[in-house]
Amino acid sequence: MRVRQWRDRWVWVLLPLMGVALYLNFVGTPDDRILGASQRIFYVHMGTATTAGLAFTVTAACSILYLVTKNLAFDVVAAASAEIGTVFTTMLLVTGVLWGRAAWGVWWTWDPRLTATVILWVLFLAYLLVRGWTESVEPRARLSAVLALAAYVDVPIDYMTIRWWKSIHPVVITSHGIQMAPVMVLAMFVSMAAMLALYGAWMQLRVRLGRVESGLDVLKQRLRSRMEE
């Protein structure tokens, strides 16, 4: 019971973390010398990118584990993480479009990084749609796992686009470190931590909901078999 209470209360940890992230993004950091105030979009953008990357990595890992073990618990975690990753990728695209308008003067350009991110977003939307269309549990889990692994191929490609091809997207993390003032690096990491905590809280709740769904499926099957007896 005590464990359950703490499990529910940890959502409240998000509030102070969100407050600190907001403070650092808007008050605790100076404007960029060239980009001005639009630099502040970057902190959110980087946080959403990291969280989406992590979410899709969890989906891919759980999809492999499902294909190996056939344990449906991995399918539940994979689907939950894909849902949240897609939401964060949407946020990533929106903040990217806003920043691009301020920095490049255009809302959108078919740059390799931007294109790879849109492809990733569409692939995981397709994954979620396919899950919604299929009713039977086992085939859905198998098909979803294969789809997730196919979609995940785009994650490392998306990360490397700005290194492999000519791109106007800035490279922040290089072999020489992070090319930013220390206070801006701090704001970036705090924003990232807040987003990751949000992902953690959301995942925990989504997995619990998934377990309730599975529990209801088991009960339904039991009731059906009892009625047939």
| 193 touches other proteins by CB under 8 A | no
208 binds other proteins (CB under 8 A): yes
Nearer Cβ to other proteins, position 105 or 177? 105
Residue 100: other Cβ atoms inside 10 A = 20
Q: Taking CB under 8 A as the rule, does residue 222 contact other proteins?
A: yes
Unique residue bearing structure tokens 């009892």 = 226
**Residue 223 touches other proteins, criterion: CB under 8 A:** yes
By CB under 8 A, the count of residues binding other proteins is 31
Q: Which of 22, 73, 172, 193 binds other proteins (CB under 8 A)?
A: 22
Site for other proteins in 75-104 (CB under 8 A): 91
Nearest distance from residue 25's CB to other proteins, in Å?
A: 7
Q: Closest approach of Cβ 85 to other proteins, in Å?
A: 15
Question: Among residues 165 and 222, whose Cβ is nearest to other proteins?
Answer: 222
Could you give the CA distance from residue 217 to residue 212 in angstroms, rounded to a whole number?
9
Residue 60 and residue 146: Cα distance in Å, rounded? 9
Q: Are 129 and 86 in contact (CB under 8 A)?
A: no
**Contact at 8 Å (CB) between 22 and 124?**
no
In the bound state with other proteins, the residue whose beta carbon lies nearer, of 38 and 115, is 38
Stretch that binds other proteins, among 40-48, 105-113, 130-138, 139-147 (CB under 8 A): 40-48
Rounded Cα gap, residues 143 and 203, in angstroms: 22
User: Among residues 74, 52, 60, 214, which one has the least CA distance to residue 146?
Assistant: 60
Among 24, 42, 44, 111, binds other proteins (CB under 8 A): 44
Tokens 């790879």 belong to residue? 116
Site for other proteins contains 3 (CB under 8 A): no
Nearer to other proteins, 26 or 164 (CB): 26
Give residues in contact with other proteins (CB under 8 A). 8, 11, 14-15, 18, 21-22, 25-26, 31, 36-37, 40-41, 44, 91, 198, 201-202, 205-206, 208-209, 212, 215-216, 219, 222-223, 226-227
